[in-house]
Structure 1
């Protein structure tokens, strides 16, 4: 029998956790919001740099709607994304967590981390265009209102320009030069 090094085990667990999280299309920040496990801790576990405690394993398994042992089944397929999303929704409901706030945590991260740095956002876009882009590229479905609110927050941070158009109450957004 091959001896498994501790570091190797941590890396395998981290890869499994990250794969499940990415299949569920949730961010480390969203997990923090829903479970209280901090984003830097989740990042360190996913990179294999930190050992995870049993209580955190139990919370993460509950969050994803899995049994604890499923987080350790490194050779097993990642559960289906749709099932993971349903399980997370159930977790949110059971724990009285506002789904809209949970989704906004993911939207802001998605816009800040993926969209602002893309060529897509170098020219002005309406929120409806941004909504379509998010759905087609990331399979992320948000309302135009939620997108507008997230973009307004990013504008206040100095990351996005808000451009008035000839259409009443319609604006376009683009990444700050």
Structure 2
């Protein structure tokens, strides 16, 4: 009976941690970048495949700016995403992590995981439209320049294509 309880607790913890991370639109890679917890380890935690020690719980709670016990409050609502974002920002500054580098990773995650996995970019879009969509749907703000830079990187990887418009200085992007 104990093994089933252990698996159930791991799954509840996994679901809560993933929900907290996704509520602030962060990737596992970003958590790795900020905390040093290996991304594959985070993936295994979020899938409920492994148990974690108190040190990892403490690191994650510090990162999100919550008390350790809040990660285990499975039936409670996820803490306010705005508060979590502020807490993550404080963590970054406290640990001398450049928020701009950290957020760049966030933009790539948002485009790759949220935008490209939806139907939004099935039709060509201007970077201004993509910025508006990210703001409206996910409550994140990025400049059109940063979005263009990210899309160029994704274009080089073959994930999006760049289309010219009737204005030579404007381009549209669509997923491949």
Name the TM-score, length of structure 2 as normaliser.
Answer: 0.91
Distance 1:112 1:20 in 2: 19
Aligned to 1:130: 130
- 1:63-82 aligned at under 5 Å gives the runs 63-82=63-82
- After superposing the two structures, state which structure 1 stretch, 163-172 or 65-74, moved more: 163-172
Indicate the RMSD between aligned Cα atoms, in angstroms. 1.7
- Mark the runs of 5 or more structure 1 residues left unpaired by the alignment: none
Q: Distance in 2 between matches of 1:23 and 1:133?
A: 17
1:81-120 Cα offsets, whole Å, 9 max, x none, are 1110100000011111111111111211221122123322
- In structure 2, C-alpha distance between the alignment counterparts of 1:133 and 1:77, rounded to whole Å: 26
Q: Does 1:24 align with 2:55?
A: no
Corresponding position of 2:88: 88
Contact between 1:29 and 1:106, CA under 8 Å: does it hold in 2? no
CA contact (8 A) 2:25 2:110 kept: no
Alignment partners' CA distance in 1, 2:117 and 2:55: 37
Q: Per-residue deviation at 1:168?
A: 4.0
**Matched pairs, number:** 175
Once the 2 structures are TM-superposed, how far is the Cα of residue 121 of structure 1 from its aligned partner? Answer: 0.9
TM-score between the two structures when normalised by the length of structure 1: 0.91
SS in 1 for 2:163: strand
- Paired position in structure 1 for 2:154: 154
Q: SS where residue 174 of structure 1 aligns?
A: strand
Aligned to 1:5: 5
Asked if 1:58 is matched to 2:62, the reply is: no
User: Which residue is 1:42 aligned to?
Assistant: 42
Contact persistence 2:65–2:91 (CA under 8 A)? yes
Secondary structure at 2:74's aligned position in 1? coil
Displacement of 1:156: 0.7
Kindly tell me: are residues 93 and 117 of structure 1, through their superposed partners in 2, closer, same or farther at Cα, counting changes over 3 Å? same
In structure 2, the gaps of 5 or more residues are: none
SS in 2 for 1:48: coil
Query: Whole-Å Cα distance in 2 between the matches of residues 45 and 118 of structure 1?
Result: 26
CA drift at 1:151: 0.3
